[in-house]
């Protein structure tokens, strides 16, 4: 114990290292060092606790970010690549997609150049609650096959997305607020 005390209260020698042979003779200097060491220990403990809590909070935020990132990727695919709103959003009087009813389902405005039996007249609502389970929607977007085992009718494109892209699209569609339809 005496060795620890000597090292703790040691006076620094010419090399800058503690000189265990020389101990400060003044008691007030020793107790000042003890008080400083105590305050330093408390600060280290508080800083460590703050870092630990910050790391835990960061981990929680990181868990939420993948869903946000997935939905953002889905938005990019839906709006920028697949252009789903062209058929699944109602049109205003000027023929433009009505953004207040985005992906709420709409009459199919595209007509076949040739007389085609079984041409769809209505595109389903996609916003908030897509018309199939997550697995059914992913299967549709990766294979073009719907839950009844049949390919979708034209004009719906037969997408061959990757599973990751299809899951991103589903995450985005589910992140939208469904309308009152």
**Residues whose CB falls within 8 Å of the CB of residue 120, separated by 6 or more in sequence, listed in order:** 108, 153, 155, 156
Identify the residue with better confidence: 69 or 49. 69
Closest C-alpha among 81, 130, 135, 121 to residue 103:
130
Closest C-alpha among 12, 3, 7 to residue 37:
7
Averaged pLDDT for residues 154-160? 88
Q: Which CATH number fits domain 70-175: 3.30.1040, 3.40.50, 1.10.760, 2.60.120?
A: 1.10.760
Ranges for all domains in the chain classified under CATH 1.10.760: 70-175
pLDDT tens readout for residues 65-106: 558 899 999 999 999 999 988 889 898 889 888 888 898 888
Q: What's the rounded Cα separation, in Å, for the pair 172 and 166?
A: 10
Chain position carrying tokens 């073009």: 144
């Amino acid at each position: 114990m005496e060795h620890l005390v000597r090292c703790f209260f040691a006076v620094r020698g010419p090399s800058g290292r503690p000189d265990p042979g020389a101990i400060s003779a003044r008691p007030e200097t020793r107790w000042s060092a003890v008080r400083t060491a105590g305050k330093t220990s408390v600060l280290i403990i508080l800083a460590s606790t703050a870092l630990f809590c910050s790391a835990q909070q960061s981990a929680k935020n990181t868990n939420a970010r993948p869903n946000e990132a997935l939905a953002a990727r889905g938005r990019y695919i839906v709006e920028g690549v697949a252009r789903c709103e062209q058929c699944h959003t109602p049109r205003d009087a000027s023929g433009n997609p009505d953004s207040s009813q985005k992906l709420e389902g709409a009459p199919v405005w595209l007509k076949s150049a040739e007389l085609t039996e079984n041409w769809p007249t209505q595109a389903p609502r996609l916003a908030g609650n897509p018309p199939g389970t997550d697995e059914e929607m992913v299967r549709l977007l990766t294979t073009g096959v719907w839950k009844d085992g049949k390919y979708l009718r034209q004009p719906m494109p037969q997408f061959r997305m990757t599973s990751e892209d299809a899951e991103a699209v589903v995450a985005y569609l589910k992140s939208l607020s469904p309308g009152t339809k």
